[in-house]
Structure 1
Amino acid sequence: MRYKNIIANQQYVFADLKSVMAKATPLRSGDELAGVAAHDATERVAAQMTLADIPLKNFLNEVLIDYDLDEITRLIIDEHDKNAFAPIAHFTVGDLRNWLLSEDANTEKLRFVAKGLTPEMVAAVSKIMRNQDLILVASKCEVVTQFRNTIGLKGHLSTRLQPNHPTDDILGISASILDGLMYANGDAVIGINPATDNLHNLAELLKLLDHVIQEYQIPTQSCVLTHISSAIQLAEQNIPIDLMFQSIAGTQAANTGFGISLALLQEGHEATLALKRGTVGQNVMYFETGQGSALSSNAHHGVDQQTLETRAYAVARKFNPLLVNTVVGFIGPEYLYDGKQIIRAGLEDHFCGKLLGLPMGCDICYTNHADADQNDMDNLLTLFGTAGINFIMGIPGSDDIMLNYQTTSFHDALYLRQLLGLKPAPEFSIWLEQQGILRQQQHHIQWAEHMPDQFAKLLMH
């Protein structure tokens, strides 16, 4: 279906819905690299005006990637909730924006319509919203998940403690875990990106994390971020796996490049549930995403990278994850060129994920060859705090010495919690108080002299 609009006495014609979506997207280097971006700002505005007038029902009838060729398209269409969609079925994209920003769209109503929204609808409305719009609407969403604690409650901010080490050295990892716990980090997950993926190494890392959590009765969960096929083998050996991890993308072809399918994700989900390691809930999946992954594997089908990112959230939503993490600036400046593009993309991802009912966090990060710096990350961090993000990363000194990129540190979480009066997960907060790390009534971390001795044996195992 062709779409047209006239602006400044010039007619703009868009070949199909895919083209309108791509050209309406705020400028980013990945879409330019793919050859799908608007030629100039005027064409972008024309596409945004056109997009605003498109009925939401069109997204159910005109798919962006062929139904027969893509299992994610089939997932989106086949599992669309018509009852949840009914209250907004008469909306255009512009109507949806206006309603989302209205007082009528409260937390309860947003939760109800979530399953009636497709990723393409949500991506479309984000393209005609300013940053403040994305923040305001996301702040009204509340997505709560549970495993050994409760994540996502309003007024709370959780962190992933990321103790990576370039050689997977147990002592180095243990020191980083201790450091993070002393800064009240780790309630979302203590999660290691392994330097090597052999099964023995993975098992030893998982046993270390399980030992720390069980020895000190920490109400949190662990994860070693290996490929799901390896983790399934470990689960079958009864290795202590709390969360099953996998990176996911928004097309079947891109996921094939990752070595995964919906069927394999289902197998991993069931294998982890069978271990029954959760205490307050059974959200057992941890997914990571990032704009540009489909383009980097030549699996984008001519669709813009932000829409593909949002389609990945349909995959995540199917498996009721504990955590979904957009690693926003990690792929590099070929996809998000500078701090401005990274900030915009991060706010889009968080908004779209939350609106679809996902427990969104963000690795607020950049690579060393991007035109960005830590001040850009401070800005995005602060914006995310106001938008109600579920969790962020906590890494020693903001510098991941294994993955070689820049992200947020343990003390960045303290800054945001102090600034906005946010607390860790409730169960984790109680544990922190019991250990003398956190005095909640003062909303800040208190060093306790007995803590280093109390945890010293962690570094001796």
Structure 2
Amino acid sequence: MAYRSTIRHFTYVFDDLKTLLAKATPYRSGDALAGLTALTYEERIAAQIALADVSLKTFLNEAVISYETDDITRLIIDTHDAKQFAAIAHFTVGDLRDWLLSDDATTTTLQQLAFAFTPEMIAAVCKLMRNQDLIAVAQKCEVVTRFRNTIGLSGCLSTRLQPNHPTDDIKGIAASMVDGLLYGSGDAVIGINPATDSPATVETLLHMLNDVINKFSIPTQSCVLTHITTGLQLIERKAPVDLVFQSIGGTEKTNHSFGVSLKLLDEVFAAIESLPKGTIGNNRMYFETGQGSSLSANAHEGVDQQTCEARAYAVARRYQPHLVNSVVGFIGPEYLYDGKQIIRAALEDHFCGKLLGLPMGVDICYTNHAAADQDDMDTLLTLLGVAGCNFIMGVPGADDIMLNYQSTSFHDALYVRKVLHKKPSPEFEQWLLQQGIMDDEGNRLTIDANHYLLKNI
């Protein structure tokens, strides 16, 4: 089906819904690289005007990737909540935008509609929104998950403590971990990106994390971000696995490039049932995504990278994850060229994930060859804090010495909690108070060399 829009007596024609979505997307380098972006600003506006008039029902009848050839399309269609959708079935994309920004779109209503929305619907409405619109709507979404603590409550902002080391040195990782804990980081997860995917190395790291968490009774969870097949081996070996990790994408071909499939994810999700339960819940999957991953794998199927990203969230929500993280600027300037594009993409990802019912966090980051700097990250950090982001990263000095990219530091987390009056997860906050690390106003206390953690790690 073709879509049309007329500006200044010139009619723009978009051959199908996939093309229309791509042309309506705010400019980014990845879509230009793929040859998908609008050629002029006027064409982009024409596409947005046409997109605003598209009925939401269209997204159930016209797939951007064929139902027959893509398992994520099948997942989206087969799990769609038609009963809840009936309340908004008369909306166009423009109507949905207006409704989301109205007082009628409450937290409770948005939670009920999570499976009534398809990723393509949410990607479409996202393309019609300014940055402040994305923030205003996402701020109304509350997605709460639990394992050893509670993540995602309104008024809270959690952190992933990321103590990576280029050689997986236990002492180096432990030093970074203690540093982060003493700055109040680590309630979302203490998560290590290993330098090697060796099962023996990963198991060693898991035992170290488990020993520290148990020794100091820390109400948090651990994860070593290894491939899910390695995670499955470790589950079978009875290793102390808390959260199971996997990178995912928005097309079947993308996931194939990651060495993963829905069938494999189903197998791992079933295997989790054999593990000891969390103390207050059992959300235990951890997914990472990022705009540009499908394009970098030559698996985007002609779909723009923001829509591909939203489709990845359909995969994530199938497995009731504890955490979902958009590593927004990690892939590089070929996909998000500068600070402006990274900021926009991060707000899009957070918005789309939250509306689709996911516990969204963002790795506020950039690579050293991107046209971005730490001032851009400060801006994005503050915007995401206002938008109600579930968690961010805590990296020593904001500089990951293993992955060689720039993220956010323990100090950055303290800043955004302070200025926005945010707290860690309630269970973790109580632990920080008991340890004398924070006071009840959220201020970090001076730590001397005799502190219990430093003496006994």
Which TM-score band applies after superposition, normalised by the shorter structure? over 0.9
After TM superposition, list the pairs within 5 Å mapping 1:105-254 onto structure 2: 105-254=105-254
Q: Which residue does the alignment assign to 1:456? A: 455
* Matches of 2:61 and 2:259, distance apart in 1: 30
Q: Which residue does the alignment assign to 2:446? A: 447
State whether residues 436 and 451 of structure 1, in contact with CA within 8 Å, keep that contact through their aligned partners in structure 2.
Answer: no
State whether residues 437 and 448 of structure 1, in contact with CA within 8 Å, keep that contact through their aligned partners in structure 2.
Answer: yes
- CA deviations 1:72-121 (Å, max 9, x no partner) are 00000011001111110100000000000001111011111111000000
* Matches of 1:443 and 1:186, distance apart in 2: 15
State whether residues 213 and 219 of structure 2, in contact with CA within 8 Å, keep that contact through their aligned partners in structure 1.
Answer: yes
- CA deviations 1:281-328 (Å, max 9, x no partner) are 000100000000000011011000000000000000100000000000
- CA deviations 1:157-176 (Å, max 9, x no partner) are 00000000000000000000
Q: Which residue does the alignment assign to 1:338? A: 338
Which has the higher mean CA deviation after the structures are superposed, 272-281 or 105-114? 272-281
Amino acid at match of 1:289: T
State whether residues 4 and 50 of structure 1, in contact with CA within 8 Å, keep that contact through their aligned partners in structure 2.
Answer: yes
After TM superposition, list the pairs within 5 Å mapping 1:275-294 onto structure 2: 275-294=275-294
Query: What is the Cα deviation at residue 269 of structure 1?
Result: 1.5
Aligned residues: 457
Q: Which residue does the alignment assign to 1:301? A: 301
> 1:104 aligned to 2:93?
no
Q: Which residue does the alignment assign to 2:412? A: 412
Query: What is the Cα deviation at residue 444 of structure 1?
Result: 1.6
Query: What is the Cα deviation at residue 277 of structure 1?
Result: 3.6
* Matches of 1:97 and 1:74, distance apart in 2: 26
Amino acid at match of 1:202: V
Q: Which residue does the alignment assign to 1:320? A: 320
Q: Which residue does the alignment assign to 2:271? A: 271
* Matches of 1:454 and 1:403, distance apart in 2: 27
Query: What is the Cα deviation at residue 451 of structure 1?
Result: 5.5
* Matches of 1:71 and 1:172, distance apart in 2: 42
State whether residues 160 and 188 of structure 1, in contact with CA within 8 Å, keep that contact through their aligned partners in structure 2.
Answer: yes
**Percent sequence identity over aligned pairs:** 65
* Matches of 1:453 and 1:285, distance apart in 2: 31
State whether residues 273 and 284 of structure 1, in contact with CA within 8 Å, keep that contact through their aligned partners in structure 2.
Answer: no
* Matches of 1:451 and 1:261, distance apart in 2: 49
- CA deviations 1:308-349 (Å, max 9, x no partner) are 000000000100000000000000000000000000000000
State whether residues 81 and 115 of structure 1, in contact with CA within 8 Å, keep that contact through their aligned partners in structure 2.
Answer: yes
- CA deviations 1:223-269 (Å, max 9, x no partner) are 00000000100110000000000000000001000000011111112
| 1:115 alignment partner, SS class | coil
Relative to 1, partners in 2 of residues 1:46 and 1:191: Cα closer, same or farther, differing over 3 Å?
A: same
* Matches of 1:154 and 1:273, distance apart in 2: 29
Q: Which residue does the alignment assign to 1:91? A: 91
Amino acid at match of 2:400: D
| 1:26 alignment partner, SS class | coil
Q: Which residue does the alignment assign to 1:431? A: 431
State whether residues 180 and 396 of structure 1, in contact with CA within 8 Å, keep that contact through their aligned partners in structure 2.
Answer: yes
Amino acid at match of 2:297: S
Q: Which residue does the alignment assign to 1:8? A: 8
Q: Which residue does the alignment assign to 1:27? A: 27
Query: What is the Cα deviation at residue 453 of structure 1?
Result: 4.5
State whether residues 178 and 453 of structure 2, in contact with CA within 8 Å, keep that contact through their aligned partners in structure 1.
Answer: no
Query: What is the Cα deviation at residue 452 of structure 1?
Result: 3.2
State whether residues 111 and 357 of structure 2, in contact with CA within 8 Å, keep that contact through their aligned partners in structure 1.
Answer: yes
State whether residues 147 and 221 of structure 1, in contact with CA within 8 Å, keep that contact through their aligned partners in structure 2.
Answer: yes
* Matches of 1:259 and 1:394, distance apart in 2: 28
* Matches of 2:452 and 2:12, distance apart in 1: 69
Which has the higher mean CA deviation after the structures are superposed, 446-455 or 408-417? 446-455
* Matches of 1:339 and 1:255, distance apart in 2: 28
Which has the higher mean CA deviation after the structures are superposed, 275-284 or 410-419? 275-284
Relative to 1, partners in 2 of residues 1:10 and 1:451: Cα closer, same or farther, differing over 3 Å?
A: farther
* Matches of 1:392 and 1:81, distance apart in 2: 31
Amino acid at match of 1:349: D
- CA deviations 1:10-69 (Å, max 9, x no partner) are 110000000000000000000000001000100000000000000000000000001010
Query: What is the Cα deviation at residue 197 of structure 1?
Result: 1.1
State whether residues 160 and 188 of structure 2, in contact with CA within 8 Å, keep that contact through their aligned partners in structure 1.
Answer: yes
| 1:308 alignment partner, SS class | helix
State whether residues 31 and 305 of structure 2, in contact with CA within 8 Å, keep that contact through their aligned partners in structure 1.
Answer: yes
| 1:411 alignment partner, SS class | helix
* Matches of 2:8 and 2:162, distance apart in 1: 51
> Please, what is the CA RMSD of the aligned residues?
0.8
* Matches of 2:179 and 2:141, distance apart in 1: 32
State whether residues 163 and 192 of structure 1, in contact with CA within 8 Å, keep that contact through their aligned partners in structure 2.
Answer: yes
Where in structure 1 are there 5+ consecutive unaligned residues?
A: none
Amino acid at match of 1:444: N
State whether residues 449 and 455 of structure 2, in contact with CA within 8 Å, keep that contact through their aligned partners in structure 1.
Answer: no
Query: What is the Cα deviation at residue 454 of structure 1?
Result: 3.9
Amino acid at match of 2:99: W
TM-score, with structure 2 as normaliser:
0.99
Where in structure 2 are there 5+ consecutive unaligned residues?
A: none
| 1:25 alignment partner, SS class | coil
Q: Which residue does the alignment assign to 1:39? A: 39
* Matches of 1:455 and 1:426, distance apart in 2: 24
| 1:361 alignment partner, SS class | strand
Amino acid at match of 1:401: I
After TM superposition, list the pairs within 5 Å mapping 1:363-402 onto structure 2: 363-402=363-402
Amino acid at match of 1:155: G
Amino acid at match of 2:232: I
| 2:90 alignment partner, SS class | coil
| 1:177 alignment partner, SS class | helix
State whether residues 276 and 282 of structure 1, in contact with CA within 8 Å, keep that contact through their aligned partners in structure 2.
Answer: no
State whether residues 52 and 128 of structure 2, in contact with CA within 8 Å, keep that contact through their aligned partners in structure 1.
Answer: yes
* Matches of 2:8 and 2:389, distance apart in 1: 40
